[in-house]
Amino acid sequence: MKPRRKTPLEIKTTEPHMCSVDLRQRLLGQQTFFAQLSPEELILINQNFSETGYEPEDFIYQAGDTVSSLFIVAEGRVKLFQTSAAGKNVLLDLLGPGEFFGSLAVLGTPAYLDTAQAQSHSCVLKISSENFRKILDVYPGVTLKVLDAMSQRLNAANDRFFLISSAPVEKRVAVTLLKLADKFGRKRKPGLLIETPLSRENLAEMTGSTPETVSRVISQFQREGWIDTGRQWIAIQDVSVLQRLAE
Amino acid sequence: MKPRRKTPLEIKTTEPHMCSVDLRQRLLGQQTFFAQLSPEELILINQNFSETGYEPEDFIYQAGDTVSSLFIVAEGRVKLFQTSAAGKNVLLDLLGPGEFFGSLAVLGTPAYLDTAQAQSHSCVLKISSENFRKILDVYPGVTLKVLDAMSQRLNAANDRFFLISSAPVEKRVAVTLLKLADKFGRKRKPGLLIETPLSRENLAEMTGSTPETVSRVISQFQREGWIDTGRQWIAIQDVSVLQRLAE
DNA sequence: CGGTTTATTGATTCCCGTCAAGCAAGGTGG
DNA sequence: CCACCTTGCTTGACGGGAATCAATAAACCG
């Protein structure tokens, strides 16, 4: 077997993982539920956010922390997970620029149920629940967008539940890789590189499996030539075969 | 073994499973996101809804149908599920009076992803997506409540995902029974009766298992005296033991 | 270049899904 | 009210997919 190569990942980050004012402006205006607002309004909105840079592994908040803010990823990758009593993690989502997280329970939950952790150098925007609430009061259109985003997430969560409770690991991994490629895929000589740190363990946490079993599946995929992979990265070589596996 | 008794379920329904105007009024005003509105406003809201009675097994909509409405359960039980290519169902939720379903994707999904079916004699209120959208425009407070409800559902979906991907069937069943008891539990001589038709197969569909395996778990629970059960019904006798199983 | 983390692969075990037979509950109609 | 039939529940036997345990190897880091 030929040796695995050095990681080909090139996630865009600015040093020191903070983002310029106009990057923020562009992000809010193009990739979030504020997209519909005018430049002047965006400037006002923007002032409600503060930003923080995170190193890989840094926690943004942890399960049990008091809910205080809503977050938006500006740069990097953020992972959301829950931890079982046995210390096993279940990965709920991997987020990229423009995606929000944290609780937007306006009345609801007093404490976060999940944990948010940077998976790469990241810049994260933060707004207090209060201020966000005020923005929603002023811009009903934004509220509808948020509602829509929530609706999509709920659908996605239901689909995950469906998948995990009705398909064998091989199919779960295939579906998960395709979803990740959809979100983080970048064209490459041949195939699609999934632009995020992605270990066997991460995949196991997403598919309700174990690192060993995922490794076996991944190894088989690679033997067949369907994917190309190394430590913490995977590229899909043959999308159509995986799609067939995923039905 | 002593014989199982006749079903003790007594789900409240009016014949012919339609609901009176003032029941509708009370329901909307007390158990939904319209709770905050004044009686006058409620009357107006109420006029936007039409109602339909369903027999057990009747479909309210099916996966693939064009999204046109939002529904609210007035009476009875409604089950939401997805069906796999192999014909296996995955039960997403069991709903009682006051709970909404259908898509409220304001922009999003053109077709339902799941199927809604009456599980008992039911009365269901319906409002067109358009009119609901108009209501949201007029009452921002309602929109926030809806957002809140969605947020809770998303959390619940994530919890289900967590459970199914990290716990053995016995625990999954215990947790599921406790959740159902929370929602549909009615005090009974000893213990809590879960007031909804509930087959082994239903439980299997909720826990990502099979009717046979669920039956074995349930039988064991009964042998231990933790629950009492029969055809299509379950009553919890010892909540604390199940809670311990559920950690 | 050691030390650490991640990935691979094999051996073994076991939970649970599948198949199958028999039984109990409930509904129907004579 | 009791045969009869349908549907749901139980239980056993069996097999397989995947978890677990374990040892080695490759990639990365300072």
Name the helix (H) or strand (E) containing A116.
strand A115-118
Which residues of chain A are within 8 Å of residue B116 when distances are taken between CB atoms?
none
Residues B177 and B232 grouped into a single domain: yes
Distance B112 CA to C19 C1' (A): 35
List the CATH number of the domain containing A204. 1.10.10.10
Residues B202 and B121 grouped into a single domain: no
- B85 belongs to a structural domain: yes
Distance B212 CA to C19 C1' (A): 11
- A6 belongs to a structural domain: no
CA A53 to chain centre: 17
How far are the Cα atoms of A174, B31, B99, B142, B152 from residue B28, in angstroms, in the given order? 44, 6, 10, 12, 19
List the CATH number of the domain containing A114. 2.60.120.10
Token pair 């689909």 in the structure block, residue: A159
Distance B213 CA to C17 C1' (A): 8
Residues A140 and A201 grouped into a single domain: no
CA distance A182 to A185: 6
Tell me the whole-structure pTM to 2 decimals.
Answer: 0.93
Shortest CA to C1' contact from A213: nucleotide: D18
- Domain C-terminal end among B100, B135, B165: B165
Pairing of strands B115-118, B100-102: unpaired
pLDDT of residue A191: 87
Token pair 């695995």 in the structure block, residue: A4
pLDDT digits (tens, 9 = 90+) for B150-162: 999 999 999 999 9
- A142 belongs to a structural domain: yes
Residues B236 and B115 grouped into a single domain: no
Residues B116 and B176 grouped into a single domain: no
Domain extent for B199: 167-246
Sheet holding A59-61, edge to edge: A59-61, A115-118, A78-83, A89-95
Write the Ramachandran bin of A53: left for phi over 0, alpha for psi from -120 to 50, otherwise beta. Answer: beta
pLDDT digits (tens, 9 = 90+) for B227-237: 999 999 999 99
Which residues of chain B are within 8 Å of residue A113 when distances are taken between CB atoms?
155, 158-159
Mean pLDDT computed over B73-78: 95
- B247/A140 CB distance under 8 A: no
CA distance A124 to A100: 9
- Domain C-terminal end among A143, A165, A187: A165
- B85/A247 CB distance under 8 A: yes
CA distance B39 to B125: 18
Residues A133 and A212 grouped into a single domain: no
Closest CB to B161 among A84, A151, A160: A160
Which residues of chain B are within 8 Å of residue A105 when distances are taken between CB atoms?
148, 151-152
pLDDT of residue A11: 63
How many domains does chain A contain in total?
Answer: 2
Residues B36 and B95 grouped into a single domain: yes
Residues A54 and A138 grouped into a single domain: yes
How far are the Cα atoms of A34, A89, A165, A210, B205 from residue A203, in angstroms, in the given order? 32, 11, 16, 8, 24
Distance B88 CA to C17 C1' (A): 13
Q: Is A111:A82 a contact under the CB 8 Å cutoff?
A: no
Residues B59 and B137 grouped into a single domain: yes
Residues A64 and A155 grouped into a single domain: yes
- A3 belongs to a structural domain: no
CA distance A208 to A227: 21
- B151/A150 CB distance under 8 A: yes
Residues B113 and B213 grouped into a single domain: no
Which residues of chain A are within 8 Å of residue B140 when distances are taken between CB atoms?
136-137, 140, 143
Residues in chain A with pLDDT < 70?
A: 1-6, 9-18, 106-108
Residues B58 and B121 grouped into a single domain: yes
- B70 belongs to a structural domain: yes
pLDDT digits (tens, 9 = 90+) for A183-234: 999 998 778 999 999 999 999 999 999 999 999 999 999 999 999 999 999 9
- A124 belongs to a structural domain: yes
